Amino acid sequence: MHGHWLEFAQVALAHLLAVASPGPDFALVLRQSLRHGRRTAIWTSLGVGAGISLHIAYSLLGLGLLLRGSEMWFTAVKFAGAAYLAWVGVQALRTPPRVETSVADAPAPPVTRGAFAAGFLTNALNPKATLFFISLFALVVSPQTPKIVQLAYGLWMVAATAAWFCLVAVLFTQVAVRRRFLRHGHWIDRVLGVVFLAFAVGLVFARLR
């Protein structure tokens, strides 16, 4: 049991460092927070957490190493992820200037399932996340660790990811923060659009192996 706690500490620390690093998930939650408000940002955060569950599932099923060995599969995921991030970036770049600066006059948020799906797809289609979880379960988690314990690790990472991004959502949906954002919101959206396009280009040219 002591060994499992030590192993869990290693898993939790590696995951914490990964989830706190700025990436497409953070950029998406930030945009949803500033543009659409807390409810949408939180549902997006829950979608990101759910995306983690996909990576956990194939790692637990032992499919991770098989997937990593498939050049065709990784290329398909890489280009699908790049295409999705590019689409998000283009949508952000097309944001028109806002006449009103009141938080109450902010754009209508997408429906709940749309916000959740955006978070899920951004995480699930990120091949770097795929590699992280495959490597984590291959290098840190012992093959002798019972599957139920490994599942507990996975549930922790899902919950911790969702909680982290919900915290980001709460921080960036403070009224004062959003009010300042709405004054120059379309420029911030366009900057984030460039960021998403940069992530997309980075994925296309990244050597993931």
- Per-residue b/e over 102-133, b at no fewer than 16 CB within 10 Å? eeeebeebbeeeebbbbbbbbbbbbbbbbbbb
Give the chain's residues under pLDDT 70: 1-3, 63-70, 73-74, 96-111, 182-186, 206-209
Give the pLDDT of residue 29: 95
Q: Which pLDDT value is given to residue 101?
A: 47
pLDDT value of position 139: 79
pTM of the shown model? 0.80
DSSP secondary structure, 28-40, as one string: HHHHHHHHH-HHH
